[in-house]
Amino acid sequence: MTSTQDSQDDLPVLVQQNHSPGVLTLTLNRPNQYNALSEDMLAALQRALDEIAGRDDLKVLILAANGKAFCAGHDLKQMRAHPDKHYYESLFATCSQMMLTLTKIPQIVIAKVHGMATAAGCQLVANADLAIASQDARFAVSGVNLGLFCSTPSVPLSRNVSRKRAFEMLATGDFIDASTAVDYGLVNQAVPAESLDRAIDQLAQNIAGKPAAALRAGKALFYQQLNLGLAEAYQIAGETMACNMLFEDAVEGIDAFIEKRTPDWR
């Protein structure tokens, strides 16, 4: 193994340009710790996301993980080594900022889930725009079993899963399997483990083939309108579509449809 490979192995997050144009993968890389979200990993994720946000060449971000698990949540050993309220407030603020960044960046974020995704790991899945899991994946917000209610994971969980199902997961800490996660709305698909790479690539390539400006405007609007009343949501959605109609890609796409030809995206 080369020294470069050694240094890569030591990084908490790996950045890999995919073979498909417009697609990038961030890989959680603490396999021996089940990819627990340490301070270093949170900082590395935030740095990577901040850089990715400014890249006009990227349309899709895949969030993956090395090892047997997707993510086991926060690093509890590290947390217990700092029994201080200010430390915990800072840690959870840092994690929340990273989670919010996943929503705010213009790229479409797809979680590629295998193994288990628990607590803040389940939060990562819920915070992604889309998610595909292998059929052997399991999900839980299990902090309550340790005396710690998963309050921050409850925020995106309750915005993906119906209220009573979300609260049952939070109050029991029980695991759900991948097919149940699909039924609940936590993930989009559950596929055989050997098909996970192909399913992720197909979805990423499908989205990457769409006009970037429409994807960016659409993602921003989607999350903005979720927090508004119905009338205000319709108002800003209409304004967004009016602006979108003037995008060069929209003009080309509509003209191509009318003229019965394939659009020539810029």
Tell me what the mean pLDDT of segment 116-145 comes to. 96
Tell me what the mean pLDDT of segment 16-25 comes to. 89
- Whether residue 253 contacts residue 241, with contact meaning beta carbons closer than 8 Å, is answered with no
Whether 108 has a pLDDT exceeding 90, the answer reads: yes
| CATH 1.10.12.10 segments of the chain | 212-258
Tell me what the mean pLDDT of segment 189-203 comes to. 97
Whether 9 has a pLDDT exceeding 80, the answer reads: no
Q: What is the mean pLDDT of the chain?
A: 91
pLDDT band at 249 (very low <50, low <70, confident <90, very high): confident
Whether 218 has a pLDDT exceeding 50, the answer reads: yes
Nearest to 205 by CA among 19, 15, 20: 20
The pLDDT, as a whole number, for residue 236 is: 81
Tell me what the mean pLDDT of segment 99-106 comes to. 96
CATH class assigned to 3-208: alpha beta
pLDDT band at 3 (very low <50, low <70, confident <90, very high): very low
**CA–CA separation, 233 and 39 (whole Å):** 37
The pLDDT, as a whole number, for residue 4 is: 45
What are 168-187's pLDDT values in tens digits?
999 999 999 999 999 999 99
> By three-state DSSP, how is residue 194 classified?
helix
Backbone angles phi, psi at 119, to 5 degrees: 50, -120
Lowest mean pLDDT among 5-9, 97-101, 120-124, 159-163: 5-9
CATH class assigned to 212-258: mainly alpha
The pLDDT, as a whole number, for residue 8 is: 66
What are 23-71's pLDDT values in tens digits?
999 999 999 999 999 999 999 999 999 999 999 999 999 999 999 999 9
- Whether residue 98 contacts residue 53, with contact meaning beta carbons closer than 8 Å, is answered with no
Hey, what are 1's tokens? 């193994």
pLDDT band at 1 (very low <50, low <70, confident <90, very high): very low
| CATH 3.90.226.10 segments of the chain | 3-208
pLDDT band at 19 (very low <50, low <70, confident <90, very high): confident
* Helix (H) or strand (E) run with residue 248 in it: helix 248-258
Q: Tell me the helix, strand and coil percentages in the chain, rounded to 5.
A: 55, 15, 30
